[in-house]
Amino acid sequence: MTSIARIRFALGSLFLLAAVTVCCAAAPKGPSPDDQYKKLTPDSEEHPGVPKGKLEKFTWNTSRVFPDTTREVTVYVPAQYDAARPAAVFVCQDGVLYKAPTVFDNLIARHEMPVTIGIFIQPGDFPLKPGEKPRKHRANRSKEYDALNDAYARFLLEEILPQVAQRYNLTTDPDGRCIAGSSSGGICAFTVCWQRPNAFHKCFTTVGSFTNIRGGNVYPDLVRNAPKKPIRIFQQDGGNDIVNQFGSWPEANKAMAKALDEKGYDHQFVFGVGVHSGNHGTQIFPDVMRWMWRDYPK
């Protein structure tokens, strides 16, 4: 091959590579099974004339249960809050999820759920010390959320709820307390009810990590073998959720739902086709709240 031929061949290869790159970059992304869950109902939208609650934030960095961590806490206070009457409590891991403040505005205004204080808690983080180099693993999320012990329940009952109760009148009635979360935050919500049914009776878990991250795969057997507890559970998951070295999220959630049903728990399970995301849980959240609070107060 002559020098000119080699140059022409090289240029042709470059043009071909560029064309393939542009073609691949421009290729449209295929539809996701999750797309159908992105459309929300009017319950998740703001409407004129609906009293709007306020959001307040504080930082919690003096934890005794999870020492040396810091986190942000967001508190939702509905417009209808009356300090003379204890408000119901909704706790959520990973901060504000499910468009909850807007949903609460709408449902409280229509008397479809009680006047409720929302407490949205980020997982703990270990801040860098002066002069310390940045490091990857600073989050305490898995230790707090995936463990099956009572540490997170104690964190709520001994630290966060008393802190919020300094400003707002919170119910101590376990029927008036709901806890929710997604993924590891979902198994955490169930663990709080499981460990402290005297404090929380209501649990909403979406794409819950009932897998072997920190032993959560044992829950179906625990549910079957333990005395029935006075808790109400709503589960959501999807057939395209995660399958990895820790287990299958769809199969783990189905096993959990079967055990709860066999034991006779007040339980609902919505199993769709979604992936490991908050879309389906957010879409059904208003109906979940109606179901969860349907008989409160009695």
* Angle, vertex CA 251, rays to CA 246 and CA 254, nearest 5: 135
User: pLDDT 10s per residue in the chain (298 long)?
Assistant: 555 444 444 444 444 444 444 444 555 678 899 999 999 999 999 999 999 999 999 999 999 999 999 999 999 999 999 999 999 999 999 999 999 999 999 999 999 999 999 999 999 999 888 877 776 667 999 999 999 999 999 999 999 999 999 999 999 999 999 999 999 999 999 999 999 999 999 999 999 999 999 999 999 999 999 999 999 999 999 999 999 999 999 999 999 999 999 999 999 999 999 999 999 999 999 999 999 999 999 7
Cα separation of 280 and 39, whole Å? 9
Query: Given this model, what pLDDT does residue 297 score?
Result: 92
| Cis bond upstream, residue 130 (ω within 30) | no
For the packed helices 279-292 and 100-109, what is the interaxial angle rounded to 10 degrees? 30
**Measuring CA to CA, which residue among 94, 266, 240 is closest to residue 253?**
240
**By three-state DSSP, how is residue 137 classified?**
coil
- Give pLDDT tens digits for 174-231: 999 999 999 999 999 999 999 999 999 999 999 999 999 999 999 999 999 999 999 9
Query: Given this model, what pLDDT does residue 137 score?
Result: 60
Domains in the chain with CATH codes: 31-129+137-292 (3.40.50.1820)
CA atoms within 13 A on the CB side of 3: 0
- How far CA 278 is from CA of 68, 268, 293, in Å, comes to 29, 18, 21
Decide: 116 and 204 in contact? Cβ < 8 Å. no
Cα separation of 99 and 206, whole Å? 14
Cα separation of 14 and 133, whole Å? 42
Global pTM reads 0.89
Query: Given this model, what pLDDT does residue 20 score?
Result: 41
Query: Given this model, what pLDDT does residue 12 score?
Result: 47
